[in-house]
Amino acid sequence: MDETQIASLLKSSSLFPIPQSLKLSYGTAGFRGDATLLPSTVHRVGILSSLRSLKLNSSTIGLMITASHNKLSDNGVKVSDPSGEMLSQDWEPFADQIANASSPQKLVTLINDFMKKEEILIGGEGGRGEVWLGRDSRPSGESLIKAAEIGVSSVLGCVAVDKGVLTTPELHWMVRAKNKGLKDTEKDYFENLTTSFKCLIDLIPSNGNKISKLVLDGANGVGGVKMEELRGYLSNLDIEIRNTGRDGGVLNESVGADFVQKEKVLPLGFGVKDDVGVRCVSFDGDADRLVYFYVTSGDNKIELLDGDKILSLFALFIKEQLNTLEGKVLSRVGVVQTAYANGASTDYLKGLGLDVVFAKTGVKHLHERATEFDVGIYFEANGHGTILFSEGFVSLLVEKQKEMSEGSDEYNAVSRLVAVSNLINQAVGDAISGLLLVEVILRHMGWSVQKWNELYKDLPSRQVKVEVPDRTAVVTTSEETEALKPLGIQEAINGEIEKYQRGRAFIRPSGTEDVVRVYAEASTQEDADSLASSVAQLVKSFLGSI
Question: ∠ CA(16), CA(21), CA(27), 5° rounding?
Answer: 80
pLDDT in tens, 285-296: 999 999 999 998
Q: Answer for the pair 360, 303: CB distance below 8 angstroms, yes or no.
A: no
Q: How far is CA 212 from the centre of its chain?
A: 28
Distance CA 456, CA 306 (A): 12
Helices (H), 119-221: 141-153, 168-179, 186-202
Per the annotation, binding residues are: 68, 284, 286, 288, 380-382, 508-512, 517
- Residues annotated in the binding site for substrate, as ranges? 380-382, 508-512, 517
Active-site residue numbers? 68
User: What strands, in cross-sheet order, belong to the sheet with 333-337?
Assistant: 355-358, 333-337, 375-379, 385-389
- Which residue from 365, 517, 363, 511 is spatially nearest to 25, judged by alpha carbons? 511
- pLDDT for position 235: 82
β-strands 31-34, 74-80: how paired? Answer: antiparallel
Distance CA 13, CA 7 (A): 10
Residues 6+ apart with CB under 8 A from 441: 313, 314, 316, 317
Domains and their CATH numbers in the chain: 3-165 (3.40.120.10), 201-305 (3.40.120.10), 307-453 (3.40.120.10), 461-543 (3.30.310.50)
Please tell me the predicted confidence (pLDDT) of residue 544: 81
* Backbone dihedral region for residue 76 (phi beyond 0: left; psi -120 to 50: alpha; all else: beta): beta
State pLDDT tens for residues 136-169: 999 999 999 999 999 999 999 999 999 999 999 9
pLDDT of residue 388: 98
Q: What does the H/E/C string look like for 73-140? A: CEEEEEEECCCCCECCHHHHHHHHHHHCCCCHHHHHHHHHHHHHHHCCCCCHHHCCEEEEEEECCCCC
DSSP symbols for 9-32: HHHHHHTSPPPTT-----BTTBEE
What is d(CA 408, CA 406) in angstroms, rounded to the nearest whole number? 6
Residue 209 is predicted with a pLDDT of 61
**Which pLDDT does position 327 carry in this prediction?**
81
Q: Please, what's the b/e burial string for 441-468 (b: 16 or more CB within 10 A of its CB; e: otherwise)?
A: bbbbbebbbeebbebbebbbbbeeebbb
| Residue ranges of the chain with per-residue pLDDT less than 70 | 124-126, 207-210, 298, 545-546
